[in-house]
Structure 1
Amino acid sequence: MQRLKIVFSGPMGAGKTQAISSLSDIPVVSTEVMNTDLDTNAKLLTTVGMDYGELTVDGGASIGLYGTPGQERFKFIWPILSQGALGVVILIDHSAADPVADLTHYLKIFDDIYDGRIVLGVSQVDKMPERELSIYRDYLAGIGRNLPLFPVDMRKREDVLLLVESIIASLEQSE
């Protein structure tokens, strides 16, 4: 059986743990603890190591789903978790104070690692409906990038599956 790997990353509260939980065929291994940085994000729990789940796709391949911690102080683990991965799903919290700055930050980190195998998922769209999704497309166009970008509800398996399928499709196109 073929074993593959996809990484989910993004700022704290963007939905990485929920995305993996929605998609995983096994109980998710999570390293969530009480959040001690409530000034940055009011969420009660935060990932400090990684989240791990598995998804079996058509053809029997198994995809390991790895979620990075969102807090900057744990960014040393991001390249470690990224080793051997097909690509990264960068999740951006649409309701954050400056989601484009978050996108800029994560693209700078993961561009070198993944050589374009990046898919963007925008979460929490319902919390900030007046903010247009075009801000991400405009930003990407301004830096000469054309990446798959989807508004997603991390609680919906089919939304998260679309992100994974997009990475797989980008690999098939490059072959």
Structure 2
Amino acid sequence: MSEHVILFAGPMGAGKTTAIQTLSETKVIATEATNNDRETADKPTTTVALDYGTILLGGDGDTEDELVRLYGIPGQRRFSFMWSILKRRATGMVLLVHNDAPKPFDAMLEFLDEFGDLYDKGGIVVGITRADVSNRPLVPDYSEVIASVYPNRLIPVFAVDPRNADSVRMALMTLIANIEMRAMFRSIASGAQAAV
């Protein structure tokens, strides 16, 4: 059985824990503590180490099942030691950014910079949450910012509702397809080099 290790990253309150709870087929392990930073995100608890769940993507008869390990990381920089630990095994990242944040582009770019090596390793997709609360900026605005700062990176951007399984699954499946396609191209390229 093949396996993917996917991080759900983003600022506090973006919906990482909710997204993992929505997707996971197993009981989610969560490390929630009282949120003492209610100015940043007005919610009672926050992740302080990780959230963990799993989902099994069924093969179609010609392919084997794939186990996807879902890790939610803390959104606050003071817990960034967990970022380093969890990204070691990760093959990709779903970056969630809440649209009603004071500076959503800055938050997005901070995480894209911090986790840029995951783009090279497998892939990144960006999910814009809370677009129902704030309809600006628009999804294409995020894509334009990414293209201006990282012109050589193709990072898909979606509106995502972390409470909706289909919505989160679309972002996850796009990421996994991207990871597998890039792995296939690397394999073909290394095979071609070995043949020379």
Fold similarity call, TM over 0.5 = yes
Query: How many residues end up aligned between the 2 structures?
Result: 175
**Partner residue, 1:158:** 166
Range that drifts further, 49-58 or 111-120:
111-120
Which letter does structure 1 place at the counterpart of 2:67? S
User: Residue 47 in 1 paired to residue 52 in 2?
Assistant: no
Name the % identity. Answer: 39
Give CA-to-partner distance per residue, 1:109-157, whole Å, 9 cap, x none: 0102441611111100011114322220110121213311110100000
Q: CA deviation at 1:51?
A: 0.1
Give CA-to-partner distance per residue, 1:54-93, whole Å, 9 cap, x none: 0000122211100001111001111211122220111101
Range that drifts further, 164-173 or 66-75:
164-173
Which letter does structure 1 place at the counterpart of 2:176? I
Q: Which runs of 5+ in 2 are unaligned?
A: 60-64, 185-196
Structure 1 runs, 4 residues or longer, greater than 4 Å off = none
Where 1:90 maps in the other structure, the secondary structure is strand
Range that drifts further, 91-100 or 108-117:
108-117
Q: RMSD of the TM alignment (CA)?
A: 1.3
- Normalised by the length of structure 2, the TM-score is 0.85
Relative distance call for 1:124 and 1:106 in structure 2 (3 A) is: same
Relative distance call for 1:25 and 1:98 in structure 2 (3 A) is: same
CA distance in 2, matches of 1:99, 1:80: 25
Q: Check conservation: 1:79, 1:113, Cα contact below 8 A.
A: no
User: Which of the numbers 121, 139, 148 marks the counterpart of 2:145?
Assistant: 139
Flag the structure with larger Rg. Answer: 2
User: Residue 148 in 1 paired to residue 153 in 2?
Assistant: no
Which letter does structure 2 place at the counterpart of 1:7? L
Q: Which runs of 5+ in 1 are unaligned?
A: none
Q: Check conservation: 1:100, 1:135, Cα contact below 8 A.
A: no
Equivalences for residues 10-159 of structure 1 within 5 A: 10-59=10-59, 60-115=65-120, 117-143=123-149, 144=151, 145-159=153-167
Which letter does structure 2 place at the counterpart of 1:62? L
Where 1:32 maps in the other structure, the secondary structure is strand
Q: Check conservation: 1:35, 1:46, Cα contact below 8 A.
A: yes
Q: Check conservation: 2:160, 2:168, Cα contact below 8 A.
A: yes
